[in-house]
Structure 1
Amino acid sequence: MHAEEYFFRNKFGSEYLNWADSVPTFILHRFRWHSPNLHFSIRNVVKRESIGLCELVLMFFVFQYIHEAIANKGKLFELSPWGKGWFVAFITTGVIYLVSRTIRKKTRLLEVDGR
């Protein structure tokens, strides 16, 4: 948190300090909340977060695979239902990532005005 503050302070100067003074650090004050200028966009979420989702599911699959390899005393190709589920989830999110990446690179379908 301190490193981020230092970075923003150096990058934006007094504009950041004025903003930081008006925003509570941990506990939000409900009467100071202002509605954002931009609306929620699922297209923007798919565009920006598909790789993160794929990486997260890959990480869980790898941890499950290592756990099962240790528990099964080196039998590398025997997966429990949990391991198979994480494998299917990884393949599914991988396909979603590849499709969204192709759409992002080849079309303007995921473009949102103002973002």
Structure 2
Amino acid sequence: MRLSDEFVRSGSWLFRWRSYLPFLFLPLILIAAIRCPVIDSHPILHFVWSLLSLSVSLLGLAIRCHCIGHAAEATSGRNTKSQVAESLNITGFYSVVRHPLYLGNFLIAFGIVMHASALWLVVIYIMAFALYYERIMFAEEAFLQNKFGCEFMAWSTQTPAFLPRLRQWKKAEFPMDFPKVIRAETAAVAVIAFAFPALEFVMHHATEGSVAVENSWYALLASGVVLYAVARVMKRRLRRWLKYERILYAAAK
């Protein structure tokens, strides 16, 4: 098998399981958090670092929300079994980077890894992400090139793969679809809202013998729970509406 074919094959397999990579880091994140001495020795530094790491994750979430909210239908989805793209997104964040959703994933998880305050964990995460997602991006681009040909080649030639080139920003072609964003990003919101307070609980318990943390982390957790509940209700109503539409369509036939 040619090396390029092997990259596509392995990348397609990894594509199916791409959402589970962060979970492999949970034991390492917990180990780093337990051994974190910053809370006792430098509480102000810990607070500033916490805000910075949370901001990184929220930036990743914002990138994902913008991409999904402005994307054309049948693109930028959470499909896992195979690649799906009815058209080529080339505006919005797709005008400055070819894989903005994976950039968003990287930043969300990177912020959580940063919060654990361990340089060795940051290095391991960056290396693992590069090895894991390189194959996925290779397989995805092979699919897009095969489907869109010259259009993909023209776009990919001037658009970097992962590090954005902001000076060539083009306004998104489609208006923001907020309900779509809320339905699609339920999991990402839940991960951020749970991970940061949970790490704070672990850190405080390890260094102070207590799980008492700043009220801001409780507020983040509560906000995440509310947004998650709203998104779940919206998804349920959407499924009911689609089912009702199918019944009406079948009756009309």
The answer to whether TM tops 0.5 is yes
Moved more, 96-105 or 4-13: 4-13
Q: 1:106 to 1:29 in 2, by over 3 A?
A: closer
Q: 2:232 aligns with which of 101, 109, 114?
A: 101
The alignment partner of 1:61 has SS state of helix
Query: Hey, what's the Cα distance between the residues in 2 that align with 1:33 and 1:70?
Result: 45
Quick check: 1:9–1:17 contact (8 Å CA) kept in 2? no
Query: Hey, what's the Cα distance between the residues in 1 that align with 2:158 and 2:219?
Result: 46
Query: Hey, what's the Cα distance between the residues in 1 that align with 2:166 and 2:198?
Result: 41
Query: Hey, what's the Cα distance between the residues in 1 that align with 2:224 and 2:164?
Result: 34
Q: Which has the higher helix share?
A: 2
Gaps of 5+ in 1: 109-115
Q: 2:212 aligns with which of 69, 79, 89?
A: 79
Asked whether 1:28 is paired with 2:168, we answer: no
Moved more, 39-48 or 53-62: 39-48
Q: 1:101 to 1:34 in 2, by over 3 A?
A: same
Partner amino acid, structure 1, of 2:232: R
Residue correspondence of structure 1 range 43-82 to structure 2 within 5 A = 43-73=179-209, 75=210, 78-80=211-213, 82=214
TM-score of the superposed pair, with normalisation by structure 1: 0.67
Q: 1:2 aligns with which of 122, 134, 139?
A: 134
The alignment partner of 1:13 has SS state of helix
The alignment partner of 2:229 has SS state of helix
Quick check: 1:54–1:94 contact (8 Å CA) kept in 2? yes
Gaps of 5+ in 2: 1-132, 240-253
Instruction: Tell me by how many angstroms 1:29 deviates.
Output: 6.6
Query: Hey, what's the Cα distance between the residues in 2 that align with 1:27 and 1:93?
Result: 28
Partner amino acid, structure 1, of 2:184: R
Query: Hey, what's the Cα distance between the residues in 2 that align with 1:107 and 1:13?
Result: 33
Provide the aligned C-alpha RMSD in A. Answer: 2.7
Query: Hey, what's the Cα distance between the residues in 2 that align with 1:96 and 1:33?
Result: 30
